[in-house]
Amino acid sequence: MLPLSLALGLLLLLSLACGVGLGATGIGRADVLRFLWAGLTGATVHERDVAAYTIVWEIRLPRVLLGAVVGAGLAAVGVAVQAMVRNALADPFVLGVSSGAAVGANAVILLGAFAGLGVWALSASAFASALAAMALVYAVARSPRGLTPLRLILTGTALAYGFEAVTTVMVFGAARGEAARSAMMWLLGSLGGATWAQVPLAAVTVAAGWAWLRRRAEALNALAMGDETSAALGVRPASLRRELFLVTAAVTGTVVAVSGAIGFVGLMVPHVVRMLVGADHRRVLTVAPLAGALLLVWADVVSRLLFAPAELPVGVITAVVGVPAFLLLMRRGGYAFGGR
């Protein structure tokens, strides 16, 4: 596993560098390196290079870094959710958090809500509505037995349809034009609005969530085998599932608030990683974030270049590339959830 993790880590660093250098505006590699060095050291940039420097340092670099953070977060949460509900089809959005966040985001985009928050309006509204959705799912799904997998899935799915209906009404009720297009871009996921201000908060949240999940990897192994087995191994499934719900919902709400609802990463990456390293969550949670970050960085590069200078939603790329790749691996690998 260590060689694979090192290889993915090095490949991710190379991909970040490529992501900064690639874009609709051609900037030479030497200039990219020079601008990065200037940004890191505070060196002076010649007046004629200000526009190119701004593209590299203020637009592309925070974008690729945020893409890596979001991809890592979605992959790690996907692993946890699939263990939590013991369902191979589960992903970070099965709890209805992303659909709830969409209501808040589109309230800003389409209705101009929370305009007083300025550039933070979209992220703040999306995160707040994600937390509200999380609280509602928890309140409805909770039973005397705690949070059972079936109740979580059914409640999250049902409420997600309700949130999506509200979002659809908002889109159809808004004036046609750029606002509706922006709403659709957000619903399919986009890193086009990435800023330096968003990167630290998302990175800290994802890192904290991953660290907690990694520390609980042994308990996740037990939980994936069923409640009776995990209880026999000294794990309290109801308590662990409640903690997992809070952690995964917080991480999902954070990444969705800054990137929109980028689908398929949290579903595909955990399965692909299990094919490579087995079902042990200690291994899966080490490799999956690197693989998720790598996938999303390159998906974003393709979304920028395919119809440049126009951009596709990055969620379209993850689906177009991920669906056939995932189906091919499933057919070739003889893979079953939880093992090889």
Q: Amino acid identity, residue 102?
A: A
Rounded Cα distance between 264 and 226, Å, is 25
* Residue 340 pLDDT: 43
List the chain domain ranges.
2-333
pTM, two decimals, is: 0.88
Helices (H), the chain: 2-21, 29-41, 50-54, 61-85, 97-111, 121-141, 149-173, 178-188, 198-215, 217-224, 227-232, 237-259, 265-277, 281-305, 314-333
* Residue 96 pLDDT: 85
């593209």: which residue's tokens?
A: 55
Rounded Cα distance between 263 and 186, Å, is 12
Q: What is the mean pLDDT of each run of 10 residues along the chain (340 residues)?
A: 84 92 82 86 82 89 95 94 82 83 82 71 83 86 77 87 86 68 79 88 94 93 83 83 88 87 88 88 94 95 87 89 74 53
Which CATH class name applies to 2-333?
mainly alpha
* Residue 45 pLDDT: 81
Token pair for 322:
């991920």
* Residue 300 pLDDT: 93
* Residue 174 pLDDT: 67
Q: What angle do CA 14, 189, 96 make, to 5 degrees?
A: 120
Rounded Cα distance between 190 and 234, Å, is 42
* Residue 177 pLDDT: 62
Rounded Cα distance between 84 and 79, Å, is 9
CB atoms within 10 A of CB 283: 18
Token pair for 203:
């990175």
